[in-house]
Structure 1
Amino acid sequence: MLTLAETKLHLRVDHGAEDAAITAMIAAAEASVREYLNAEALPDQPPVRAACLLLVGTLYVCRETVDSAAMVEGKLFERLLAPYRLMSV
């Protein structure tokens, strides 16, 4: 869903030294959003893209901190994804 180019623009990274790390962060963020949505695939919608970029940004900035808090939290994240979340019965 997210491209490396758009993610680097979001992160304000203009070099290629961290491309592999950013690509791994994209995969982790997308997997986390898929899990949160209970979806097989991510809807290609602007709010879903924004939520993925938020997570990549958090992973990029906080990559050296250890935190026991869940990666998926926050009102903005929930608000962006709520319309796309599949609830099980």
Structure 2
Amino acid sequence: MTTYPTQTPYGVDPLGRPYSEKSKVVAGILRILVGGLGAGRLYAGSVGTGIARLLTFGGLGIWALIDGILFLTGDDRADSKGRILRG
């Protein structure tokens, strides 16, 4: 079972998981608009995947578009610390 710090400046989700300072909407828009550069992944803290996207130009744009849409429609998107993105 994961324990979270008692201070959650951005609140908690209905399951009691703390929200991140990062925004789900910002990350999704970054993934759609500049996903070929890995910006959305880097913003959310996925450095390794962000660099892979940068080196492949987001799968020539295909990964970027699909990733952005799936990201915005998904429920549990977390940052590099496992906190749920706000939004």
Q: Shared topology, TM-score over 0.5?
A: no
TM-score, with structure 2 as normaliser: 0.27
Structure with more helix by fraction:
1
Structure with more strand by fraction:
2
